[in-house]
Amino acid sequence: MDVGVVAIAFALFGLVALALVWSGDWAYASLAQATGNTRTTFVRAATGRDPAGEIPMPIDALLDWHRRWAAYVVGWSSEPPNAGPGGPLFTADEYAHMADVRAVFRGAEAVALVSLAVVAFRVMRARARDDALGMIRDASLLSAALVVGIGLAATFAFDALFLLFHEMFFPQGNFLFDPATSNLLRLYPEWYWQGVTAGVGISFIVVAILVASGAQVALRRYTRRA
């Protein structure tokens, strides 16, 4: 029972923590370079006397928008990116969706902290039984296996799982935008989400295996001393 609880709690904490890491502009820039998507165009709706048009967005501009949106979503900024002097580049529905994303992510951060506390409590309790290292090893391997399973499912059905995730956490349905007119989709296209998902998953698996290996080495040394 303890191993399963710790594995799930460790996975929750680790995935949220790594999602924070992968929300950085370094990840956006790396994925853009790797996929050859270093520029795009935003569309601007007609406003007043100004006709509709397209705005070139090189990588520096994309990174600036991403940096500001990411800061808002993860809680480092209390306000979303402003519209700028030329009028809004994102619709009211897009701003509303990102506010919902922020609420979900802040909730995930709270869950991650609780999960970390659960891991710490269970490890201390196992330590009193002289079983902490074995539990850490087994829980880390189990958590890695869980993420591998999710990753395999995402490999073969990414779009379906992505849609399911949004339907679960955004039941109001305000995540559906027209690719022809949505600047939010142009800023965050499919290659970004696929890359970040893979990056977070692979990073977690590596960390979990390293933790399990470290626990196994420490357990062997402890056993020899005993």
Q: Name the pLDDT band for 12 (thresholds 50, 70, 90).
A: very high
The whole-chain average pLDDT of the chain stands at 91
pTM, two decimals, is 0.91
For residue 111, count other CB atoms closer than 10 A to its CB. Answer: 14
Distance CA 39, CA 186 (A): 10
What's the mean pLDDT in 94-109? 95
Interatomic CA distance for residues 66 and 60, integer angstroms? 10
pLDDT in tens, 105-130: 999 999 999 999 999 999 999 988 88
CA-based nearest residue to 87, from 58, 46, 54: 46
The CA-CA-CA angle for residues 2, 19, 189, to 5°, reads 140
- Can you tell me the distance from the alpha carbon of 152 to that of 160, in angstroms, rounded to the nearest whole number? 13
pLDDT of 174 above 60: yes
Question: Within 13 A of 6's CA, how many CA atoms are on the CB side?
Answer: 24
- C-alpha closest to that of 45 among 81, 94, 118, 113: 94
Q: Is the pLDDT at 143 greater than 90, yes or no?
A: yes
Question: Looking at the 3D structure of the chain, how many domains does it have?
Answer: 1
Band of pLDDT at residue 226, cut at 50, 70 and 90:
low
Q: How far is CA 132 from CA 127, 138, 152, 160, 215, in A?
A: 5, 10, 30, 39, 9
Q: Residue 152 above 70 pLDDT?
A: yes
Residues spanned by the domain of 88: 2-225
